[in-house]
């Protein structure tokens, strides 16, 4: 059964649907019922295989992450074994060691840069998205394409002058330099994404509110924002993911004081030899916040990643 169309064609027949068609057909002949049942059973068997395969694939993708988390709870000697150790007594030693060696500060830096830049993105992006959707400016299309084209600008093309400028103004190793850059990095995505949420609001709502005597600001606050707040939350989560994971700016523009969590991982490979368990603990700590943010935002992830093009 290597028939790739199976899943799509079966998806159309949700159980509820087939039940309702049966209800419409008045009293089928017994023979028909039998045939249908048999077909149903065969269907179920094939379906189980596909479901099992889906689970295997899912676990396969997840396994490296799981392994990382497991390793984080091992003693160093259990991390290097051939064959790999599956059963072990978990320990929190590695986490203690990692946090003791100063990773706490980098986590705080990451959290600060992420939170503040995301807040800035929303502060700049919500009005902009509004001006590109519900109350569109002239040449909306051009502005939108300007924003998206900045995402096509490979970061590497601007890193040199940024380094020079940041250095000149004495902002090297300063978290605020990262905040500014992360805001610029996420703003286009956020504007496109939030715009797609704003476009789902019927424009008559604004008109109705203005006829009801609300000023534009009130109408936006009382009518529009409550409607788009789930979208804004999803946008914020996506900005969180991108800025937390950012590495290139961070590695070039920070050193000690403003180092972020991903950069701190570099320290674990440059020492003499690798400490896998400790590295895994550090990686787990660095990855955990965004993995959770992404899990929460997963239904809106596509929209953010596709600049709102795909709902």
Contact positions with another protein (CB under 8 A) in 29-58: 47, 50-51, 53-55, 57-58
- Which region, judged by CB under 8 A, interacts with another protein, from 32-40, 90-98, 111-119, 131-139? 131-139
Q: Which of 26, 170, 213, 273 binds another protein (CB under 8 A)?
A: 213
* Cα→Cα distances 290→244, 246, 253, 287, 307, Å: 7, 11, 22, 6, 19
- Please, what is the Cα angle at 148 between 300 and 262, to 5 degrees? 65
> Taking a C-beta distance cutoff of 8 angstroms, is the pair 295, 144 a contact?
no
Please give the residues from 141 up to 170 whose contact with another protein meets the rule CB under 8 A. Answer: 141, 143-165
Please give the residues from 90 up to 129 whose contact with another protein meets the rule CB under 8 A. Answer: 124-125, 127-128
Q: Provide, rounded to whole angstroms, the least separation between the CB of residue 265 and another protein.
A: 5
Nearer Cβ to another protein, position 24 or 27?
24
Nearer Cβ to another protein, position 30 or 146?
146
DSSP 84: P
Number of residues in contact with another protein, rule: CB under 8 A?
136
Tell me which residue of 42, 37, 180, 196 sits closest to 121, measured CA to CA. Answer: 180
Please give the residues from 53 up to 82 whose contact with another protein meets the rule CB under 8 A. Answer: 53-55, 57-59, 61-62, 64-65, 67-68, 71, 79-82
Nearer Cβ to another protein, position 92 or 164?
164
- What's the CA gap between 243 and 185, in Å, rounded? 8
* Cα→Cα distances 284→64, 180, 246, Å: 12, 27, 16
Nearer Cβ to another protein, position 63 or 96?
63
Q: Confirm or reject binding of residue 270 to another protein (CB under 8 A).
A: no
- What's the CA gap between 274 and 280, in Å, rounded? 11
């Amino acid at each position: 059964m290597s028939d790739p169309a199976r899943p799509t064609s079966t998806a159309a027949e949700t159980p509820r649907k087939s039940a309702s068609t049966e209800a419409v057909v008045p009293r089928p002949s017994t023979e028909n019922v039998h045939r249908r049942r048999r077909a149903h059973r065969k269907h179920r068997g094939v379906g189980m295989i596909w479901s099992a395969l889906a689970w295997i694939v899912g676990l396969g993708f997840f396994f490296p992450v799981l392994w990382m988390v497991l390793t984080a709870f091992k003693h160093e000697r259990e991390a290097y074994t051939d064959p790999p150790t599956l059963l072990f007594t978990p320990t929190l030693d590695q986490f203690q060691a990692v946090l003791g060696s100063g990773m706490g500060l980098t986590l705080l830096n990451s959290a600060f840069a992420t939170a503040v830049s995301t807040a800035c993105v929303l502060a700049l992006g919500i009005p902009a998205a509004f001006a590109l959707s519900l109350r569109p400016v002239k040449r909306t299309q051009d502005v939108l394409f300007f924003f998206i084209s900045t995402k096509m600008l490979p970061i590497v093309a601007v890193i040199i002058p940024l380094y020079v400028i940041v250095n000149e103004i004495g902002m090297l190793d300063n978290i605020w330099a990262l905040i500014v850059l992360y805001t610029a990095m996420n703003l286009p995505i956020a504007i496109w994404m939030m715009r797609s949420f704003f476009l789902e609001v019927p424009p008559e709502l604004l008109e109705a509110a203005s006829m009801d005597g609300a000023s534009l600001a009130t109408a936006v606050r009382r009518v529009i924002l409550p409607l788009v707040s789930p979208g804004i939350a999803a946008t914020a989560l996506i900005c969180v993911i991108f800025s937390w994971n950012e590495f290139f700016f961070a590695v070039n523009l920070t050193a000690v004081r403003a180092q972020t969590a991903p950069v701190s991982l570099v320290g674990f490979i440059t020492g003499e030899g690798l400490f896998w368990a400790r590295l895994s603990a550090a990686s787990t700590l660095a990855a955990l916040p965004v993995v959770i943010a992404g899990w929460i935002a997963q239904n809106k992830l596509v929209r953010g990643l596709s600049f709102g093009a795909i709902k």
